[in-house]
Structure 1
Amino acid sequence: MGSKNSTTAKRADALRSIDAIVQAAAECLGKNPEASLSEIARAAGVGRVTLYAHFDSRAEVVDAAMSRAIDRGNEALDAVDLTGDPLLALTRYVEAVWHLVDQTRALLAAAQRELSAGRIRDLHAGPAARVETLVARGRAEGAFRTDLSIAWMVNVLHTIMHSAAEEIRAGRLTPNHAAGHITATVLAAFTPPGKPVPETSGRA
């Protein structure tokens, strides 16, 4: 019996350590995408030996921190109203997702260095599925173009968001202007050929 209790206690300790490491990784990498594993272990209040007992590499730590950020982002996106006018819904989606991207810019930079493009795509599957559904509805209602594939249009949206993050890092764009720039660019890209591009001012 004692041995079972001891195993349960060890498992609980391990889960606490993992949670502390992932939280510390999100915070440290969120400030500096090049933060070392030693810094992360120190911030988590554990030794490097403990960190390596749970994670084989820096890439695994970055992956866990990015997964945590995406899970929290998905919870926030659940609250975004994607019904009604597809143009307004897309604007709301861009603003909500940009807010999340803006909060995790440095973490995303670390992920882009450590993880494969395929893995980053997998991590973004939740947000991508939401916007795929919205784009499909917008196409069916005549608001979005149908001459390009949905997959391509979703890729364009996410590429523009990541480009905005890069522009901010380079000092060529300010975070408070980014959502408006992204929305204007995406609406221009999604508008059916020959139709006037909707004005983005006042859309919220």
Structure 2
Amino acid sequence: MPSAEPRPRRRADAERSIARVVAAARTCLSQDPDATIDDIAKAAGVGRMTLYGHFPTRAALVEAALVEALRAGEETLSAVDLSGDPRDALARLLESSWSLVAESAALLQAAQGVLPAGRLRELHAAPAERVQQLIRRGQEEKVFRTDLPMSWLVSAVHHLLHAASEEESSGRLDGADVAYVVTASVQSLLNVPSSGVVPAVGAE
């Protein structure tokens, strides 16, 4: 009877090939959002036909690379200590978050060119939920403002992180100063107004 070993071996080989392609796509697209399939295949050490056998479209490959980047980022962010004073916890989260955003800025640009906005929001749901929960706790402890909609506050934090990444990559902001600038900007946004807290103005 024929051996049953070749099939598991082929499956393992395919999984290793897919992992190489995704890693190459993540690297190439992080350096150049317009990196071509040929660029990625060459970096992965596979042929175009092999790459297309795993990912039939560029969009599918870009999504796989983004998913992998977000998975790796989630490992980092889930290890951040968010206990204690919400303001201190937020500073720790932002310090870890901005560098991840900087690393994936070009990759996100590539994804925005091929993936629907709804899919991008879905993929970023976990990081957004973490920020939202921390802001809500700060509001409950009366150290963060409640007069602006939660969706706006979360979105503003997200855009400030990306703005910091762009400023750093353009040389207008020193890398050593980014963590402070991001934290100070976000804290300023979230701090309770000097006049006191006013009623919330919108649904989450």
Q: Does 1:148 align with 2:148?
A: yes
2:191 maps to 191
AA at the equivalent of 1:103 = E
Residues 15-26 of structure 1 aligned to structure 2 (within 5 Å): 15-26=15-26
Distance (Å, rounded) in 1 between the aligned partners of 2:48 and 2:91: 44
Contact 1:102-1:175 within 8 A present in 2 as well: no
Distance (Å, rounded) in 2 between the aligned partners of 1:117 and 1:4: 45
1:102 maps to 102
1:11 maps to 11
CA deviation after TM superposition for structure 1 residue 4, in Å: 4.2
Distance (Å, rounded) in 2 between the aligned partners of 1:2 and 1:42: 35
Contact 1:160-1:182 within 8 A present in 2 as well: yes
TM-score of the superposed pair, with normalisation by structure 2: 0.88
Question: 1:45–1:188: structure 2 CA closer, same or farther, 3 Å change rule?
Answer: same
Distance (Å, rounded) in 2 between the aligned partners of 1:116 and 1:181: 31
Which blocks of at least 5 consecutive residues in structure 2 are unaligned? Answer: 197-204
AA at the equivalent of 2:20 = A
Q: % of aligned pairs identical?
A: 48
Contact 2:98-2:164 within 8 A present in 1 as well: no
Contact 1:33-1:107 within 8 A present in 2 as well: yes
Contact 2:135-2:144 within 8 A present in 1 as well: yes
Distance (Å, rounded) in 2 between the aligned partners of 1:81 and 1:96: 11
Judge which range, 104-113 or 22-31, deviates more.
104-113
Distance (Å, rounded) in 1 between the aligned partners of 2:139 and 2:2: 62
AA at the equivalent of 2:130 = R
* RMSD, aligned α-carbons: 1.9
Which blocks of at least 5 consecutive residues in structure 1 are unaligned? Answer: 197-204
AA at the equivalent of 2:117 = A
CA deviation after TM superposition for structure 1 residue 91, in Å: 0.7
Contact 1:164-1:182 within 8 A present in 2 as well: yes
CA deviation after TM superposition for structure 1 residue 195, in Å: 5.7
- Per-residue deviation, residues 105-159 of structure 1 (Å, max 9, x unmatched): 2222222222222222212122112111111100000010112222221111001
Judge which range, 109-118 or 137-146, deviates more.
109-118
Q: Does 1:77 align with 2:77?
A: yes
- Per-residue deviation, residues 7-30 of structure 1 (Å, max 9, x unmatched): 322222211111110011111112
CA deviation after TM superposition for structure 1 residue 3, in Å: 6.6
Q: Does 1:59 align with 2:22?
A: no
Contact 1:144-1:190 within 8 A present in 2 as well: yes
2:129 maps to 129
CA deviation after TM superposition for structure 1 residue 101, in Å: 1.3
Distance (Å, rounded) in 1 between the aligned partners of 2:154 and 2:27: 29
AA at the equivalent of 1:93 = L
Judge which range, 142-151 or 111-120, deviates more.
111-120
How many residue pairs match? The answer is 196
1:32 maps to 32
Judge which range, 54-63 or 115-124, deviates more.
115-124
Question: 1:107–1:174: structure 2 CA closer, same or farther, 3 Å change rule?
Answer: farther
CA deviation after TM superposition for structure 1 residue 54, in Å: 1.0
Distance (Å, rounded) in 1 between the aligned partners of 2:20 and 2:170: 32
2:89 maps to 89
CA deviation after TM superposition for structure 1 residue 169, in Å: 4.0
